[in-house]
């Protein structure tokens, strides 16, 4: 009798346990600094709350987002985006071409990626959004993947004209949002596509990498993004966890001021590149020697990596010879001198990414071997653009993302234009590269683009306005309770809706 009662009680308890939906607990490093799409749109895009017109698959191929199809007129100036039929916002209202056109017009006037597109006008036309350009620009759809272009319902905007709540059109809707660290999502009834496998999601931002690893290990979190390299080996040994690693289009590079007397000679830039022990640095600090950047773009960036290109590699003898050729001779203190001045400068970096300062000190030690004296200074991320602007930057170690627009042409256009840019070249410009980039931006045929891409990479490899140091990877840990995880190297959409509890 007692055993029967216990059995019934257990059965009832387990049923109530099942009825109460358990949320998927997601942990990541990204804080929601402000809910404006220009600031935190990437969180709402990755978590599938809001959609952009165009999306992208894991191979970098553009796919349908809020727009199911798009086409350009013969002259390449008028683009037409057809919206998904019956698309609804989470407040029940319809996603109309007028709302989309309004949103995009506003975004285009801001400082985001879309502001770099030569747009002449954005108008609704029936179910289509029509974007008119002032000159042909084949990469336009790729710019519409950028998170700053997520489309929100008019009810998101408060009386002040600012975004005050997030009312998107994705599979999940915001249930509660407590910036900067917490967000709860639930399956949106308005979503017409496949129902999310797990109805509720809890997102928690945790800045400390060690704490994130502990949350994965203790089983508190189901899905943890961005693990530190030092934790990965330990996590891989845990039988309850599934560690996935993807190479992401992010390169850590030395941003060199090619206008400064120290680095204006290309032989000096090549010597510095030949001094770098990329393999040692990546093996020790990033725990993966394959991340040594032998050219600017990693293999994952289809079309932008040329396996035929002679790799950048360590060659101290060649480095010393190049420096001697450029007129640098060792002084009594072991530091190189030229015209009575020592080869001494500040290597500026920042701590937004925890691995940058240790990589900077490793580079400092490597440069010392050929008589170059670098002082490492760790500041705020904004100091590098500030020093770039006032011309006082000598060398900076930066982490550059090439998927702000999924077509790397977006970043290249900005980084190596004449006058350079925040994270691109300083004091360096190349007419051939500029012409190539502009032609590529207007060319959509991959076969026609391929030789131009190879030539552009070759110019950057030979001139070294930025000296590549390491590529990057994203480590994601999933508890084996969940299944259906898909890693998106472009970090546009984490596909949470496809995740299910493993049975």
Residue 371 Cβ vs another protein, minimum distance, rounded to whole Å: 31
- Candidate list 10, 14, 15, 34; residue touching another protein; CB under 8 A: 34
- Compose the 362-391 pattern: x for residues touching another protein by CB under 8 A, - for all others: ------------------xxxx-xx-xx--
Question: Contacts with another protein in 181-210 (CB under 8 A)?
Answer: 181-182, 204-208, 210
Range in contact with another protein (rule: CB under 8 A) among 55-63, 218-226, 431-439, 453-461: 218-226
What track of x and - describes contact with another protein for positions 402 through 441 (by CB under 8 A)? --x---------x------xxx------------------
To another protein, the closest distance from the beta carbon of 383 in angstroms equals 7
Contacts of 4 (CB under 8 A, 6+ apart): none
Q: For 404-481, list the strands marked E by DSSP.
A: 466-479
User: How far apart are alpha carbons 374 and 386 in whole angstroms?
Assistant: 20
Residue 162, CA atoms < 13 Å, CB-side half-sphere: 7
Phi and psi at 376, nearest 5°, equal: -85, 130
Q: Segment near another protein (CB under 8 A), from 192-200, 262-270, 397-405, 440-448?
A: 397-405
Only one residue has tokens 């899905």, namely 223
Among 190, 217, 242, 473, which residue sits at the site for another protein (rule: CB under 8 A)? 217
CB of 413 to another protein, least distance (A): 12
- Residue 350 touches another protein, criterion: CB under 8 A: yes
Least gap, CB of 296 to another protein (angstroms): 16
Angle between helices 446-463 and 266-275 (to 10 degrees): 90
Residues forming beta bridges with residue 66, ordered by sequence position = none
Verify binding: residue 180, another protein, rule CB under 8 A.
yes
User: What x/- string results for residues 102 through 141 when contact with another protein is judged by CB under 8 A?
Assistant: --------xx---x--------------------------
Q: Which residue number, 265 or 414, has a Cβ lying nearer to another protein?
A: 414
In angstroms, what is the minimal distance from the CB of 280 to another protein? 26
Min dist CB 357 to another protein, Å, is 14
- Residue holding tokens 């206008």? 259
Closest distance to another protein from the beta carbon of 178 (Å): 6
| C-alpha dist (Å) from residue 408 to 79, 232, 298, 454 | 21, 29, 11, 13
Pick 309 or 401: Cβ nearer another protein: 401
Q: Are 49 and 174 in contact (CB under 8 A)?
A: yes
User: How many residues sit in the footprint of another protein (CB under 8 A)?
Assistant: 49
Q: What tokens does 387 get?
A: 């020093």
Among 22, 23, 38, 427, binds another protein (CB under 8 A): 38
Q: What is the 3-state secondary structure (H, E, C) of 234-256?
A: HHHCCCCEEEEEEEEEEEEEEEE
Question: 371 vs 468, which CB is nearer to another protein?
Answer: 468
- In angstroms, rounded to a whole number, what is the distance separating the alpha carbons of residues 251 and 472? 6
The continuous run of DSSP H or E covering 186 comes out as strand 182-187
Alpha carbon separation from 152 to 48, 119, 155, 161, 398 (Å, rounded): 12, 21, 8, 13, 33
Give the chain's radius of gyration (CA, Å).
25
Least distance CB 418 / another protein (angstroms):
15
Q: Which sign, positive or negative, has the C-alpha torsion 427, 428, 431, 434? A: negative
Among 179, 303, 357, 495, binds another protein (CB under 8 A): 179
Decide: helix, strand or coil at residue 329: strand
Alpha carbon distance 466, 23 (integer Å): 44
Taking every pair of C-alpha atoms in the chain, what is the biggest distance, in angstroms?
99
| Chain residues in the site for another protein (CB under 8 A) | 27, 33-36, 38-39, 110-111, 115, 162, 178-182, 204-208, 210-212, 214-215, 217-220, 350, 352-353, 380-383, 385-386, 388-389, 399-401, 404, 414, 421-423
């Amino acid at each position: 009798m007692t055993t029967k009662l216990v059995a019934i009680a257990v059965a009832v308890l387990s049923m109530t346990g099942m009825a109460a939906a358990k949320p998927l607990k997601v942990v990541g490093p990204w804080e929601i600094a402000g809910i404006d799409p220009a600031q935190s749109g990437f969180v709402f895009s990755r978590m599938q709350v809001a959609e952009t017109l165009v999306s992208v698959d894991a191979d970098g191929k553009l796919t349908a987002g809020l727009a199911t199809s798009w086409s350009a007129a013969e002259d390449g100036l008028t683009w037409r985006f057809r919206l998904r039929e019956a698309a609804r916002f989470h407040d029940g209202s319809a996603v109309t071409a007028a709302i989309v056109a309004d949103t995009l017009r506003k975004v285009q006037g801001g400082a985001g990626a879309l502001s770099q597109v030569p747009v002449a006008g954005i108008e609704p036309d029936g179910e289509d959004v029509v974007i008119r350009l002032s000159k042909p620009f084949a990469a336009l759809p790729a710019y519409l993947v950028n998170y700053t272009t997520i489309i929100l319902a008019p009810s998101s905007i408060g009386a002040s004209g600012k975004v005050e709540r997030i009312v998107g059109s994705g599979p999940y809707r915001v249930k509660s949002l407590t910036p900067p660290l917490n967000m709860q999502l639930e399956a949106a009834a308005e979503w017409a596509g496949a129902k999310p496998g797990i109805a509720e999601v809890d997102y928690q931002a945790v800045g400390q990498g060690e704490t994130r690893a502990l949350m994965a290990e203790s089983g508190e979190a189901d899905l943890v993004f961005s693990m530190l390299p030092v934790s990965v080996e330990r996590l891989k040994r845990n039988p309850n966890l599934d560690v996935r690693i993807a190479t992401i289009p992010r390169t850590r590079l030395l941003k060199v001021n090619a206008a400064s007397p120290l680095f204006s000679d290309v032989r000096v830039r090549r010597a510095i590149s030949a001094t770098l022990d990329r393999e040692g640095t990546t093996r020790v600090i990033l725990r993966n020697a394959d991340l040594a950047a032998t050219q600017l773009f990693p293999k994952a960036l289809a079309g932008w990596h040329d396996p035929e290109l002679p790799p950048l590699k360590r060659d101290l003898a060649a480095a010393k010879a190049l420096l001697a050729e450029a007129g640098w001779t060792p002084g009594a203190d072991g530091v190189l001198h030229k015209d009575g001045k020592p080869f001494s400068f500040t290597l500026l970096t920042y701590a937004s990414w925890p691995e940058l300062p240790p990589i900077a000190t490793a580079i400092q030690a490597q440069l010392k071997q050929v008589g170059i004296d670098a002082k490492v200074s760790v500041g705020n991320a904004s100091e590098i653009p500030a020093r770039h602007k006032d011309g006082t930057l000598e060398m900076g170690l930066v982490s550059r993302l090439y998927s702000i627009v999924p077509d790397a042409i977006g970043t290249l256009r900005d980084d190596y234009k004449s006058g350079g840019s925040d994270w691109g070249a300083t004091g360096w410009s190349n007419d051939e590269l500029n012409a190539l980039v502009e032609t590529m931006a207007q060319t959509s045929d991959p076969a026609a683009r391929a030789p131009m891409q190879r030539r552009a990479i070759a110019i950057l490899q030979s001139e070294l306005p930025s000296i590549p140091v390491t590529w990057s990877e994203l480590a994601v840990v999933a508890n084996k309770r969940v299944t259906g995880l898909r890693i998106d190297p472009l970090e546009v959409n984490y596909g949470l809706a496809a995740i299910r509890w493993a049975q």
